[in-house]
Amino acid sequence: MIGHTELGPGGEFDRIRAILERLGSRAAPSGDDCAVVTVGAERLALSTDLAIEGTHFRVGWLTPGEIGWRAAAAALSDLAAVAATPVGVLASVGASREWPEAIVADVMAGVGAAAATVDAVVWGGDLVRSDRLVIDMAVVGRVDSPVWRRGATPGDALWVTGALGAVAAAVRAWEDGREPDRQARERFARPAPRVSEARWLAERGATALIDVSDGLLGDVGHLAAASQVRCVIESERVPVHVAADRPDDAVVGGEEYELVVSLPSTFGRDEASQFSQRFGLPFTRVGSVEEGAGVILLEQGRPVELPAGFLQFD
């Protein structure tokens, strides 16, 4: 959904978002990951994610099944980011005539496999000709009490699931003509939408939630802007993936599909340990929420000067 890396922060992003809002039913707070709408008796979360060869991936990097998996997982992560429960998926694929039917079938099988990990099914799709591979995923979930980006409150702590930085390492390896580390490759190829994790956190009082698609700092910036608070990240606390090759990637690398969540101070070490045991996943306190605006990155207690743009999310 809107909020995608390609548009990034800044004027263009904001104004196109405004167009959608003008057209739409104001279903979601400005720029949130999903539309949440009431259809008859149901409250639905919906999102769509368009991935284009060359812009979002290169065909040589991944198998067709992984391309399908990754596209589906990225879209399903938008549902996780509001603590919705995925139900079904529509997959549109544009593929060239050089792609035999068996390859398109593998893409679809990857979509189906990723959907199955969160108990969603592939409802249907469209298949057309295109000179570049194009995949659009539209995902539908149910949600009674969505957790938005906007609820972070001064005094909350900021936590992150998993460990970051390996996705960027994989991309860098491919771009340099190297084969990535196996674990880094897996992080890129088969992200896991944190659906159950999000619901568990929502039940335990999560005040704001976002998935890491633009990079930790970028997404925390979105959360800070939506919540009208200042978010402070302590860089030493950010969990760096064992397959990351540059620690900075953990802070700025995108398309991780982990969750950043703000939780009240009553959520402590015991609860974090329950989370880790239940999901087999690190859960790390990386910072705090204060009065103010923007994102502060601390290194050994001192604010780091952030690249232009990171403080301009509001």
Q: How far is the CB of 101 from its own copies (least distance, A)?
A: 5
Cβ distance to its own copies smaller for residue 4 or 194: 4
Which residues on adjacent β-strands are paired with residue 288? Answer: 157, 232
Cβ distance to its own copies smaller for residue 20 or 281: 20
Q: How far is the CB of 109 from its own copies (least distance, A)?
A: 7
Q: How far is the CB of 234 from its own copies (least distance, A)?
A: 33
Q: Judge residue 166's burial from the number of C-beta atoms within 10 Å of its C-beta, 0-12 exposed, 13-18 middle, 19 or more buried.
A: buried
Nearest alpha carbon to residue 263 among 204, 206, 180? 206
Nearest alpha carbon to residue 79 among 4, 143, 159, 136? 143
Helix and strand numbers, DSSP H then E, in the chain:
9, 12
Cβ distance to its own copies smaller for residue 127 or 306: 127
CA quadruple 171, 140, 118, 30: dihedral sign: positive
- Residue count of the chain: 314
Which residue is associated with the tokens 């860098």? 172
Q: How far is the CB of 193 from its own copies (least distance, A)?
A: 16
Which pair of tokens denotes residue 271? 């609860």
Binding positions for its own copies, rule: CB under 8 A: 1-2, 4, 6-7, 12, 15-16, 19-20, 23-25, 27-28, 34-35, 37, 39-42, 44, 46-52, 54-56, 87-88, 90-94, 101, 104-105, 108-109, 111-112, 115, 121-132, 134, 136, 138, 140, 142
Which residue is associated with the tokens 């060869």? 53
Cβ distance to its own copies smaller for residue 21 or 290: 21
Q: How far is the CB of 8 from its own copies (least distance, A)?
A: 10
Cβ distance to its own copies smaller for residue 127 or 304: 127
Alpha-carbon distance 208 to 262, whole Å?
A: 5
Q: How far is the CB of 200 from its own copies (least distance, A)?
A: 21
Which pair of tokens denotes residue 14? 């904001």
Cβ distance to its own copies smaller for residue 28 or 238: 28
Cβ distance to its own copies smaller for residue 106 or 181: 106
Which residue is associated with the tokens 């959907």? 115
Q: How far is the CB of 239 from its own copies (least distance, A)?
A: 29
160 within 8 A of 76, measured Cβ to Cβ: no
